[in-house]
Amino acid sequence: MTDIECAMDESGTTQNRRARRSHVLMAASIEVDGIAVAVKLRNLSPEGALVEAAQLPTVGTSVVFRKKELNLAGRVAWVTAGRAGIAFDTLLDPGAVLRHVPRTKPQPKLDFRRPGIRSGDLSAGERQIAHDWIWGDPIQNRRD
């Protein structure tokens, strides 16, 4: 398995898949008889795509899948509950698949540690309280 294929694989090992898929949520379109239909692209593999839309063509309909400069002829393999599987007529190169999958943005590391106490920031009275609390007997230093 190549590095590109590993990067594309986001499916579980228990799924019976012919090709590895990249799970995405991006805008795309399918063209049916010269009419473009806006769809949400849910996943993409070298063999096909999972799309979602309110109105989808019927099973067996020839379509052209479009995502930016990517244009692939295919057919509708299945339709159910607002989703459809598009089977491409030709295999899509794995590298071309990854060009259309957005890279995740690095998240900044957050530091939630409490700042330390610095003796220079304490008044003389505060330093005495801290000293008594650390070194003294808490029962004797307690003020009621």
Mean pLDDT per 10-residue interval, the chain, length 144 residues: 38 46 78 93 88 94 89 94 94 70 77 68 81 75 53
Instruction: Give the pLDDT of residue 131.
Output: 85
* CA distance linking residue 63 with residue 57, whole number of Å: 9
- In CATH, the number for domain 3-99 is 2.40.10.220
Instruction: Give the pLDDT of residue 102.
Output: 67
Instruction: Give the pLDDT of residue 130.
Output: 82
Task: Please say whether the dihedral angle defined by the alpha carbons of residues 127, 132, 133 and 139, taken in this order, is positive or negative.
Answer: negative
Structure tokens at 59: 């099973």
Instruction: Give the pLDDT of residue 90.
Output: 92
Instruction: Give the pLDDT of residue 12.
Output: 42
* CA distance linking residue 24 with residue 71, whole number of Å: 18
Q: Would you list the domain boundaries of the chain?
A: 3-99
Instruction: Give the pLDDT of residue 104.
Output: 74
Instruction: Give the pLDDT of residue 139.
Output: 60
